[in-house]
Amino acid sequence: MLFLFCHQKWQEASNRGAAILSYLGEQVPLIYCIEAEPQQGEEEQRVEERLLYPLECFLFGEDPCVGLEKLQQYSGSSSAQQCGRVFKEGETVYSCRDCAIDPTCVLCIECFQKSVHKSHRYKMHASAGGGFCDCGDLEAWKTGPCCSQHDPGTSVTMETDECVMDPGLRERAQMLFHLLLRYTTDMLVWEDTSELAEELKPKVMEDTYFCVLYNDEHHSYDHVIYTLQRAIACDQNQAQIYTGRKAVKRGTLRSCQQAKDNIRRNSEHIIQKPLRVEILHTAVMAHQTFALRLGAWFQKIIGYSVGLREVFCQVALEPASDNNKPCLISQLMLHDAKLYKGARKVVHELIFSSLLMDTEYKRQFAMKFTELYKQLQEDFICDDHQRNISVTALSVQIFTVPTLARQLIEEGSVIKVIIDTVMDMMREHLDSNQRFHFQGHNPDKFFRVQVIFHDLRYILISKPSVWTETLREKFLEGLRVFLRFLCCMQGMEEVKRQLGQHVEVEPEWEAGFSLQMQLRHILAMFQDWCSSDERVLLLAFQECHRALMSCTNQPFCSEPTDSYMCKQILHARLYKVSQEPVSIHLPISRLLAGLYVLLSLWVTGVYLYAFQVQLNFTELAEQPLRCVVLAAQVCADMWRRNGLSLVSQVYYYQDLKCRDEMFDKDIIMLQIAASKMDPNHFLMLVLLRFELFDIFNGNSSSKDQVLKQWNRLTEEMLYLIIIIVGERYVPGISHVTKEDVTMREVIHLLCIQAMAHSSLVKSLPENESHETWLETVISKVAVFKKPGVSGHGLYELKKECLKEFNPFFYHYSRPQHSKAEEAQKKRRTQEGSDKALRPPVPPPFCPGFSNIVYLLCCDIFIHILRRIFQKAVEDHSSRWTEPMIQRVWLLLLHTISLSSCSVSGLSHNASMSLRCLKCVVSAQSVQDKEKAERKRKAEAAKAHRQKIMAQMSTMQKNFIESNKMLYDNVPESSSQSDTNRVAVGPQQGVCSTDWGAQICILCQEEQEVQAQAPAMVLTACVQRSTVLTQDRGKTLSPKGCYPVFMPPDLAVGTHTGSCGHVMHATCWQKYFEAVQNTTRNRLHADLIIDLENGEFMCPLCKSLCNTVIPLIPVEPSKLNYAELTYIHVCVCVCVHVISEYDVNSVIRPKFSRSITEMLGVCATTVHRVGLQTAPNDLCPYVPVMSWNTCAYTIQAIEGQRRAMRPRLQLNSSLLCLNTQMGEFIYLSYRERLPVSFSLSLIVSLFLRLRAGVSGFSVESVKRGVLPFLRCAALFFNCLTGVPPPEELSESPESQLPLLCSYLSLPSNLFQLFQDHRDVVTTLIKRYPRKRNRLIDLPEDYSVLLNQASHFKCPNSSDDERKHPTLCLLCGVMLCAQSPCCQQQLNGEEVGACTAHATICGAGVGMFLRVRECEIILMASKTRGSPYPAPYLDDYGETDPQLGRGNPLHLCPERYRKLLHMWQQHCILEEIARSLELLNVMFPFEWQML
């Protein structure tokens, strides 16, 4: 055991570092990689004893336990203020919406449960991995930065660790940390696969090698297993072990090289890129493995003390002695893309636990990260792993810290660095005009480049409250670089209208809009930053305007010409959108519009004199106006030949995802131009760009197609004027707030229909923090309607807010506009109010935009109205449309309202408005006459119908009076008296149940149910069940095991249910054959129905069925009460009789051949499903299985009735009792079989009783026998057809005497049991029996998430993402959808849930995937379906995948619905229906769940 004292030799050595490395060089190869598959427990023990313990002894200078106690005495505490827990992929994290600085500030579940944020508005979501808990970070939270566990009270002592730390310990730690961190870094970046450094070479090196396989993101898990099975001839279980970074071969260099070639060759057969395989010497492999182990050791050691952590950070950031090399941590970051997944995680966790836990070292690391930013991102672009396991993901931990972000902007020019990095990577997409063109781009690479924009968002997420000169300078420097990037987007991917032939290949457009979506929040953030400082805003506006004027793609190349209309002259350049190229991408123009509005919030007019360039508003409005005209022409079907790509661009241009920085900003720029230009010139410019100038000048075409397009363009042009004049809900354009804007959006969304909270959130624009401000306004404008058992909660608009509805709301799409208008008209019709949808009065413009209203009084506007009204009064109806007149009416209302308000310059146009109104009246007069004529004809028709109905009513009354005697002789229907409602005994009542005439649901023909008639059948479903089991988890009987009767614990039974729909047997056979023929050709039909087992869907209700039950007429029968008293007869007699009894000998003479065949079909299905084996024709146990399903179904129905309602009544599931076994029992009595047969049936049914008797008191016996009596009543009701008493629907207390009367039993059960005490005593010992329910779930869903966070897979120790899944039948937590927990079931690999469902639910399962918040219903190895979880948020909605992240609480009604679904055996039916509705293209492998 010399290694226990080696640390003393290291202390005495002249070169301690060389001595330690020499020791590691000898010991590490002896511990690691001796075997291809080492025993981890033994290996870890050797590492602790031989390597880590000596290192700790050297560090502390004594026994580590003693040294640690001294260290804690010096420091006072070893706890840290910051949590720093590193999140795994899929782990649930929490963010407080009230207190978090930004959405990236999150807590782990332990800190959240102990924090004040639990009572706040919080969100929860699944982590992508790679982050850590921000508990204790003062800059991450407005309030409550620490949980109770990480209370800042310990921070005082922690900060003084450096002063009180023993100097010797500090010196040894510095030397050891530097040595081991350099060793770790060298080994992780080591590229020589066969040699080691001189100081690490052992005395003797074996000539053995490892063939090492590295997993990547290109090959799937199954691809790797397939490749290994073919390449190295291993089985599947062995191949599963080799996934990850594993040594798949140990041997000579030649044998390893051969294995490497085989793996690469076989992997290339799957995809073009082969698997990464390397050959490493065993010593190299050993030292690399130990280097990773040191990473975890470092985390443990620096967790002892802040002083040790500081020493480590100093060593990690210390400049290298060789000036050509970066520091150690920089070397690890630069080599990150070459490391495999496991090594990356170790390095990242080491950075988290050290450098990011201290403010100063976090700043230094951030500077290093910024210096290497470009190289790290280039490596990430070429990497095949996701961002969450890349070192570039650390940016979110650095750039989101407000103070650190300011320092990086001032000292590291981080904005410029990020944008330059993006620009360099996208330079390959520039065309000759220095504009982006993404045709033929690489989608994967382009996606990775766009991820870099997230870092820019992180930097800008918190605007500064105090500006310094350096911050202004560096921010404006970054803004200029950003504007150069936007110049490459300005006017990119121009389109030109296709004439004649349709475009052959539609251009690429998704990349441009994807880039626009990434910049959406960044553009808003830049504007937000500029708005916080006046100087920055002025200079930013100047830079933006300069960038716009310097764009190489400015369209002002033609010479301007003069255009004349109404004595007005417009000097503008000629341009037609329908003939010239046009681009929908104008980011600089839109950014300038946003900055202009922000300037208007400062002193009015300042922006005009901020720089010496005089603004040309005609040029500023040119390109936004072209985009609006392009959208109008696409709407007018003028660009059909350009394909769907342009239609999609226009859709996203006005869609929620892009409109705030595209369409809305174009409207703002047009409003700016309208407020500063001459109103006549502005409208003339609009007419020119809409290509309607000649139309309104009197030059028009008579072609119908052209007229339709012109009419549509005229509608869009008028709509644009309405928007420019009426849309004022923008802060800076009018005196409104963001809350007013959100409130207006919500009102118009709810005017369409009542909406759920999630739908409202999706329909509202989000800011950079993913907030919509919906919660601040929703209570003011809407009322909440709670959901029922299904569906979700809805918000309905308050009546007082309906007056704010504007039918020309500019954020409505065309379908939304139609729905909203229709809904409001319908509402007004129901209320009997005026149907006219008058728009509300808009708020007044701010002074800088007040001149916009003069558009409504200029000469060109009056000329436009006059021309439209002239067309309306002409005979040619094709020259005007109703929407055109509606828009003109609205503009006139705006004009009159402004005139009545005495707006300066508008009163002199009142006469022109009156003239327009006269034109309207004359135009509408013809339409009014037509409407009046139609109304007169409708009223005449209505009066005629009323006259005819009155005549018919009179005739009916006369007929009744004349035939009154016939009605008087009709006897009144009356039910049987209660005295005759007795099922058995001398007083047995009369059978009143009869099928009557039934209608076939297929052929719609009617037929009487008779014994010798063709069979009428019910659709039915037979399934195995454990609903009534008294021993959950018991191993079920193997296939083919024939039970005589069901065991007392009811471990598994066979349930038969029916939807109650009737068919002819022949019709069903034809339908079943047709289903088999058509379904075989359907894609993935086996997921819905199993044709091999005779499954089909009910033709009417689409319920899952696998057999049919023939209808048999019920005949009156008398049962001997005296014989029924011998209940002590042995059950074995019944077994002997049934086994020797020939059913067909009795059934054949009585029933038709068709009924006999259907009875056989039903019995065979029960046998096949119940015993999971098909019977032969002579199998004597078919009647036994029929009796078992009869008895089991009776008890299941009784349990359902007892849980849901007390009344006993016949339902479709119980109809099966009147057929196979019910008729068999009935015939046994009719043919005078042994009396013991019927009596034994009673005894056996009693054995299956589910009751709760505790003791032998009279009351307990009464409570205990009640379930049995209900079962017996159900049984004899079907056997004899005597209906039960009506009073059974009353309270349960009155049921016992009624049931006793119905069954001819004495109500004094005590006396009855005294007479047969020996028999009853045996039966009562089986009681009580529990009534099965689903497990109890916690009210707060975070409790379940907490349980899932502590879940450990029983078969795996890795940190890969797991899917904890809870069985709702028994409460077991399983590791689902993971290869580590797969099991063999009937020779096939299945997942943990599938295997568990076989034992727990006889193949049927109901599971809750905790981290996904989703119910999984399973019916077999190949069938399953998702189902909403019974947890709802405060808005009455479920949250699958925790997408919204709102707090969730258990809904008892929905959980009760799940309980009833399980108890009523409806899981199979639910799965089949959901799969029938869902078009499955790529089926889910349910057996692997």
Q: Is the pLDDT of residue 921 over 70?
A: no
Classified as helix, coil or strand, 884 is: helix
Question: How high is the pLDDT of residue 939?
Answer: 81
Question: How high is the pLDDT of residue 1310?
Answer: 64
Query: Of 843, 823, 855, nearest to 686 (Cα)?
Result: 855
| pTM score, whole prediction | 0.83
Question: How high is the pLDDT of residue 556?
Answer: 52
Give the whole-angstrom CA distance, residue 387 versus residue 324.
Answer: 29
Give the whole-angstrom CA distance, residue 822 versus residue 832.
Answer: 15
Percent of the chain with pLDDT over 70: 78
921-925, 1085-1089, 1199-1203: which range is least confident on average?
A: 921-925
Find the DSSP H helices in 881-1034. 882-900, 910-962, 964-968
CB atoms within 10 A of CB 1307: 13
What value does the mean pLDDT take over residues 820-838? 85
Residue 610's contacts (CB-CB under 8 Å, 6 or more residues apart) are 538, 541, 542, 599
Q: What is the pLDDT of residues 668-727, one digit of tens each?
A: 999 999 999 999 999 999 999 999 988 888 776 556 567 888 889 999 999 999 999 999
Question: How high is the pLDDT of residue 1261?
Answer: 65
What value does the mean pLDDT take over residues 529-555? 86
Reduced 3-state DSSP string for 519-550: HHHHHHHHHHHHHCCHHHHHHHHHHHHHHHHH
884-893, 923-932, 1355-1364: which range is least confident on average?
A: 923-932
CB atoms within 10 A of CB 416: 18
Question: How high is the pLDDT of residue 927?
Answer: 54
Q: What is the pLDDT of residues 1405-1463, one digit of tens each?
A: 999 999 889 999 988 777 888 899 999 999 999 988 888 888 999 999 999 999 999 98
Considering 207-216, 893-902, 1253-1262, the range whose residues carry the highest mean pLDDT is: 207-216
Burial 212-240 (b: 16+ CB within 10 A, else e): bbebbeebeeebbbbbbebbbebeeeebb
The pLDDT confidence band at residue 192, using thresholds 50, 70 and 90, is confident
Question: How high is the pLDDT of residue 584?
Answer: 94
Q: Is the pLDDT of residue 115 over 60?
A: yes
Question: How high is the pLDDT of residue 512?
Answer: 92
Question: How high is the pLDDT of residue 1045?
Answer: 63
Question: How high is the pLDDT of residue 1063?
Answer: 92
Q: What is the pLDDT of residues 832-863, one digit of tens each?
A: 777 778 888 899 999 889 899 999 888 899 89
Q: Is the pLDDT of residue 784 over 60?
A: yes
Question: How high is the pLDDT of residue 1483?
Answer: 58
What value does the mean pLDDT take over residues 580-597? 94
Q: Is the pLDDT of residue 154 over 60?
A: no
Please say whether the beta carbons of 503 and 642 come within 8 A: yes
Query: Of 289, 302, 71, nearest to 176 (Cα)?
Result: 302
What value does the mean pLDDT take over residues 615-638? 92
Side by side, the strands of the sheet bearing 276-281 are 246-251, 209-214, 276-281
What value does the mean pLDDT take over residues 30-40? 69
Considering 484-498, 1109-1123, 1191-1205, 1209-1223, the range whose residues carry the highest mean pLDDT is: 484-498
Q: Is the pLDDT of residue 1097 over 90?
A: no
Q: Is the pLDDT of residue 69 over 90?
A: no
Q: Is the pLDDT of residue 1275 over 60?
A: yes
Please say whether the beta carbons of 400 and 104 come within 8 A: yes
What value does the mean pLDDT take over residues 21-31? 88
Please say whether the beta carbons of 24 and 290 come within 8 A: yes
Please, what is the end-to-end C-alpha distance for the chain in angstroms? 49
Question: How high is the pLDDT of residue 1382?
Answer: 78
363-367, 665-669, 1204-1208: which range is least confident on average?
A: 1204-1208
Q: What is the pLDDT of residues 740-756, one digit of tens each?
A: 999 999 999 999 999 99
Burial 256-294 (b: 16+ CB within 10 A, else e): bbbbbebbbebbeebeeebbbbebbbbbbbbbbbbbbbb
Q: Is the pLDDT of residue 1219 over 50?
A: no
Q: Is the pLDDT of residue 1238 over 60?
A: no
The pLDDT confidence band at residue 778, using thresholds 50, 70 and 90, is very high
Q: Running DSSP on this structure, what letter comes out for residue 52?
A: I
Q: Is the pLDDT of residue 136 over 80?
A: yes
What value does the mean pLDDT take over residues 452-471? 93
Average pLDDT for the chain: 80
Question: How high is the pLDDT of residue 573?
Answer: 85
The pLDDT confidence band at residue 1129, using thresholds 50, 70 and 90, is very low
Q: Is the pLDDT of residue 783 over 90?
A: yes
Q: Is the pLDDT of residue 576 over 80?
A: yes
Q: Which two tokens stand for residue 363?
A: 């700043």
Strands 1383-1385, 1104-1105: pairing is unpaired
Q: Is the pLDDT of residue 563 over 90?
A: no
CB-side neighbour CA atoms (13 Å) of 149: 13
* More confident of the two residues 41 and 1394: 1394
The pLDDT confidence band at residue 1321, using thresholds 50, 70 and 90, is low
What value does the mean pLDDT take over residues 569-587? 91
The pLDDT confidence band at residue 166, using thresholds 50, 70 and 90, is confident
The pLDDT confidence band at residue 1038, using thresholds 50, 70 and 90, is low
Dihedrals phi, psi of 566, to nearest 5 degrees: 55, 45
Q: Is the pLDDT of residue 413 over 80?
A: yes
Question: How high is the pLDDT of residue 1443?
Answer: 85
Q: Is the pLDDT of residue 1241 over 60?
A: no
CB atoms within 10 A of CB 1173: 14
The pLDDT confidence band at residue 897, using thresholds 50, 70 and 90, is low
Question: How high is the pLDDT of residue 148?
Answer: 87
